[in-house]
Structure 1
């Protein structure tokens, strides 16, 4: 870390000298192209005229071991190698540490900074956190969105016992893969200060295969840098946007071109198949002699003959002319045969493919579930591919109304002019867990008949990605109204109380009145839809579970949203109806305050809104934390009662929380009792302090139900830019 600071000082002269240098359209022929034993290929360079733009300036630090240093926005990075054919650079990234030793440099050590421009973290990297009771984050940016990704670890004690070498499932070590196109500015690591631990915690980005966890690393990690892979592009225009005739366009040559399937920002060059070289240098992609390098597939009885951009395998027993004639005749015969049978095969292929997707997407499982309960409760319609394509104009991008972790939602119009929302799942690895989750949502929604639960109309299983068809709710989500653009047209307290009552009633119905009890498992404002009359609809049952009548709890892989996730469920994996009660208590706090539950933009003591809210409630200074858009001068009695109800819902122990039925009845009672009473009553009671989850992660996080992860799992948040009201 300190060596980086010294290198940055050395870099000042270089930065100033090149401050006024613009893009270089062509490279000089007498440029130095190495630093020590590291090659520095174009578009990078060591001096003016040898690089494409100042973003590709490399400075060779000859005063030390000779490692080349790449300055990105004035940040020094040690380069290990550069591969222009893949648009990649292998560099050394800092390791962030947290030792809870209160040393003067601790605040510097627990962050690893790196500013990137036209460089991104390759998805061939992994993010690791090592230590006990450790929270680790990568804070970065993807296009215009800030992205926070990370994982958490736990340990039973401070020893290495129970930790398995090579395993990063959450016990002493956790691992997370990267999505494409992610740039980042810093790595952060922190620990649970309430637990006395002697060892340190560490977090870093490393190239896949570059690190294998050892249990001894918990006591002595000893590394300050790890190899990581960056990818880069030229400029800020894609292949479709750039002027390919411009002098500074680099992908020029008969055997090289622009990577069309790369969607930017910027563009990348590549050599065409059968050619190799530096695609960023004009006419540098040369023919590969597959016969010499041994990359052909000719047999021992055949002779490999190199061709421009290709090769041919020639049999020794036949002359080349005979082979050509025979190939032509056979090709003509196959063409005629294919034309003759094409129409029949096309229809059969489509039928087979649809049947394959139907089985792959759980169609057989759905039929078995329907026959298992007589089909009397499942009324969903099975739509054809053509019906949904027509409803969405072939899934036109303008029809998109929302995107989530498991798919995209389109607005569609059925033939009878009914407007619907069509949820099209993402193309992911087809695992039994994902199929079960999709069929689970169909079955659960088919069993529900409640005005405050989104209605399932049907589904389509005939395509590679299955789709669900819901009733269309036009007014967005509760999250949008509390935190989005519409928050400046703030909903008043009467509407908020009604939304709380309706949500509690819907959850009470799921727990108590449904034919089989249903636990939602992901109650949060983003899953509460609002219609044009501000009537709420509970949605997104992909994570929900049916509870057998003879059971009160169910052991599951932990899934939900951190910040809203029941701490008792998080630590025991025992899912109960009280898990939804905790999540609903968090929603009540959000309705009262109008603030996000966890927000990095707030001061550190206020980042966790739950603890902040409870503290103000118990000090009888509730007015200071309530939503300013409610325009209150005093705290009304009904708001005090709702706040106290939220406090009881947020008990650490599920047994101490009320049931959803009790919550719903109490909210209705609060609403009814205030009709004939004066609304401004100061609260003088001081209920007993309640125990709350300490040290929750400092940002709301999605915890995915993945069979390849441990009980702590991984989480990812995309935080949208702030919107200033007009």
Structure 2
């Protein structure tokens, strides 16, 4: 392989008799440049490219394109295309805040062989703006499986709130990741409520665009102010990475014929084997695996001719697919390392000829050989002892370094100052134990991924099944979240809260060990039961899960030594065991409320569709913020709908807004799940609808506390199910209208889908 711009370019060639270059871009087979309507230079029409001449201010230049996408380079697994092929979303405003220019961005890859890479990120630049990105993958063709995520920026209404150069942390610039395998995406950009003259006087335009992270660097205040310079820099420098496969939704098999020659092989692009496949040369060979051997296909690498890549400081012999490197005669050691060969005992080094036989008197040879034979084992044993001692010391220092870097001292300090248990009283796992429990953190053991880390299923030596949480990143903020979660969980002892068993801080990233909850998330049972084969939850089970979850949150708010606000209550953070018993999980975003205080002021964080609008606007976090999020979960249980439904029209996307609107317009039965209507009693359904309305009140002080919510749900469970089921004729949805301020909950007055600075959850 030879290095190319942004990827590895085939060392092979184009198809014989076909154009190989378009400007300075190499076009290797299976891609090919079409000659008019003749596409025979490529593997198929899907890989047929166009090389045309374009005009610009700098003159004319060749331009390579795949359909409407302009290509920057081609590697053995990726294409990089120009950002302006997709477009840059922007909105420009007059100083009074009124819009005068806007543009949306979207990508539609014309062929299933091409998908957007996870190397891309959505970047938003502005001082009072948010962007929503939606997309669809080949593996998720239905609307409810679409990907959706959001990103929000704020400058706190003045220039001093803009992040410094290079930092996209939400202050003037934010970035979020996208998943692998999206076939198309759309980026919508809009402003928040604070679109004031003060903001637009120094930030006239906002931008949102998709591109490879390393191809864009935020320049701080200059990017906020200068529309034309930033727009030009995005178009000139930012690239979008596109993955390609030979065949989508197929795996390697005996029927694959695209991998040519005996030295090429087929490989699947993902472990499931249904994401498509590509070809590559076998180990020790290079060339184009899609061409026959004598036409530029995979050839044996002469490693001896490339000592820079394959070092050999002895005698090098090339073999098919490999090479050997041995020390010269009279010497022993590792010939692949410089000075790795030393003269054998009976040889001495000569400055000009290398190792030569030692001139030892004949009468002294037996004594010399005997002495060396006795001394050598002792020397080896001594050196091995020193080596293993040094290695153990080095590993111990490394574990100590990781322990300190991962916040071991901070954890001990927090547990001591907050009255928690001492670190020594918790079970401290060694990393070898957890590696063994998870088959060295194998991909097959992954049971969940989220913004705070990856969760593995493991089996300890005592046969206990556990869940092991491993951070995805090692920056200071992420470690702080892990330590925060541990501090909180040491204070919790509740049946319906996931139990922390122990931790390990001696690894590069901290690890937390929890009890294993076997039946997945509540979200999975509500929304994906058909696809995953799980049984639909009955109304009685839903009501019990709601009651158990509410009881756990009430415990966190009022029964711990210091009140705990979860801050990310949602159906994916409610786990179910084999009996569908609820357990609250994921305390990475939670906050402790100091004694004598009712609220804390903190950076807004939460999940799209669940976030308390009052907390979003003020930054003041109270236990009533959890109540609002729990109200959304109750609405999910009643309707079976997602908290954010992208396939609906904008005014009906938000479930909380839609629920309140249905109550106001006397149309609640239109959005309730059919099974719930059939199974629930009239009085139960009316009462719980009232409770949802109260939880979703826009004013936090008008919402009930979680203890009151728990008591009402308990009363509903005990009330049983009356025989008269709800019908269109006898249900009065307006019975709860007096519990909420309908003018205040009009959908037009709600904030536009509030979220955190960088939200990465998908729906």
TM-score (normalised: structure 2)? 0.71
Partners of 1:215 and 1:569 in 2: CA distance: 26
- CA separation of 1:57 and 1:100: change in aligned 2, threshold 3 A: same
Q: Is the 8 A contact 1:136 1:203 kept in 2?
A: no
Question: Could you tell me whether the CA contact under 8 Å between 1:89 and 1:229 is conserved in 2?
Answer: yes
How much has 1:595 moved relative to structure 2?
1.1
Query: What's the offset of the Cα at 1:444?
Result: 1.5
Q: Is the 8 A contact 1:150 1:715 kept in 2?
A: yes
Contact 1:28 1:49 in 2 (8 A): no
- Larger deviation: 363-372 or 605-614? 363-372
Shift of 1:502: 2.0
Residue 209 in structure 1 maps to residue 209 in structure 2? no
CA separation in 2, counterparts of 1:368 and 1:697?
41
Equivalent residues of 2:106, 2:184 under 8 A apart: no
Q: Report if aligned partners of 1:133, 1:155 keep a CA contact under 8 Å in 2.
A: no
- The Cα shift of 1:521 comes to 1.0
State the partner residue of 1:35. Answer: 22
Give CA-to-partner distance per residue, 1:382-432, whole Å, 9 cap, x none. 234454455556556655544433344444455555x4322230452x233
Cα deviation 1:344-369 (Å, max 9, x = unaligned): 45554554444444334333333334
Is 1:445 the counterpart of 2:445? The answer is no
Structure 1 residues 66 and 539 mapped into 2: Cα distance closer, same or farther (>3 Å)?
same
Cα offsets for 1:98-124 (capped at 9, x unmatched): 6599xxxx9995544334544444565
CA shift for structure 1 position 450: 1.9
Cα distance 1:624–1:258, how it changes in 2: closer, same or farther (>3 A)? closer
Shift of the 504–90 alpha-carbon distance from structure 1 to 2, 3 Å rule, reads: closer
Tell me how far apart the structure 2 counterparts of residues 100 and 341 of structure 1 sit (CA, whole Å). 68
Shift of 1:448: 1.2
- What residue in structure 2 maps to residue 367 of structure 1? 412
Contact 1:635 1:682 in 2 (8 A): no
Shift in Å at residue 615 of structure 1? 0.9
Report Cα offsets for 1:680-713 as digits up to 9, x if no partner.
6743533241634856666xx9x6xxxxxxxx52
Cα distance 1:531–1:151, how it changes in 2: closer, same or farther (>3 A)?
A: same
Q: Secondary structure at the match of 2:32?
A: coil
Which residue of structure 1 aligns with residue 71 of structure 2?
79
Q: Quick one: distance in 2 between partners of 1:239 and 1:401?
A: 24
Q: State how 1:89-238 maps to structure 2 within 5 Å.
A: 89-92=80-83, 93-97=85-89, 109-115=104-110, 117-122=112-117, 125-130=120-125, 132-137=128-133, 139-141=135-137, 146-154=146-154, 168-170=168-170, 173-177=173-177, 181-192=180-191, 202-207=207-212, 208-210=214-216, 212=218, 214-218=223-227, 227-236=238-247
Q: Partner of 2:594: helix, strand, or coil?
A: coil
What 5-or-longer segments of structure 2 have no aligned partner? Answer: 1-11, 94-100, 291-295, 326-335, 340-348, 359-375
The question of whether the paired residues in 2 share the 8 Å contact of 1:504 and 1:663 is answered with yes
- Measured in 1, the distance between the counterparts of 2:235 and 2:691 equals 50
Match of residue 282 from structure 1? 297
How many angstroms does 1:668 deviate by?
3.2
CA distance in 2, matches of 1:613, 1:370: 42
Alignment partners' CA distance in 2, 1:147 and 1:398: 23
Whole-angstrom CA distance in 1 between matches of 2:354 and 2:488: 67
Distance in 2 between residues matched to 1:160 and 1:465, nearest whole Å: 36
Match of 2:744 in 1: 691
Q: 1:235-276, CA deviations, whole angstroms, 9 ceiling, x for partnerless residues?
A: 249999577x987426987xx999999867433648989x99
1:611 and 2:617 are equivalent in the alignment? no
Question: Which aligned pairs between 1:246-261 and structure 2 lie closer than 5 A?
Answer: 248-249=258-259
Query: Do 2:678 and 2:725's aligned partners in 1 also have CA atoms closer than 8 Å?
Result: no
Which residue of the other structure, out of 502, 511, 516, is the alignment partner of 2:562?
A: 516
Residues 1:620 and 2:666 are matched in the alignment = yes
Contact 1:164 1:215 in 2 (8 A): no
Return closer, same or farther for 1:126/1:454 CA change in 2, 3 Å cut-off: closer
Aligned to 1:22: none
Cα gap change, 1:139/1:465 in structure 2, threshold over 3 Å: closer, same or farther?
A: same
Paired residue for 2:329?
A: none
- Pair 1:266 & 2:265 matched: no
Unaligned runs of 5+ in 1: 1-24, 327-331, 704-711, 720-726
Aligned length: 657
1:435 aligns with one of 479, 483, 487 = 479
Check conservation: 1:520, 1:580, Cα contact below 8 A.
yes
| Farther off after superposition, 130-139 or 140-149 | 140-149
Report the Cα distance in structure 1 between the residues aligned to 2:154 and 2:419, rounded to whole angstroms.
Answer: 46
**Residue of structure 1 in register with 2:48 after alignment:** 57
Kindly indicate whether the alpha-carbon contact (under 8 Å) linking 2:698 and 2:744 is maintained by their aligned counterparts in 1: yes
**Is 1:590–2:601 an aligned residue pair?**
no
> What residue in structure 2 maps to residue 570 of structure 1?
616
Quick one: structure 1 residues 483 and 143, their matched pair in 2 at CA, closer, same or farther if it must change by over 3 Å?
Answer: closer
Q: Give the conservation status (yes or no) of the 8 Å contact 1:383–1:458.
A: yes
Looking at structure 1, the residues matched to 150 and 392 of structure 2 have their Cα atoms a distance apart, in angstroms, of 48
Shift of 1:492: 2.9
The change in CA–CA distance for 1:395 and 1:169 in structure 2 (over 3 A counts) is closer
Task: Give 1:627 deviation, angstroms.
Answer: 1.3
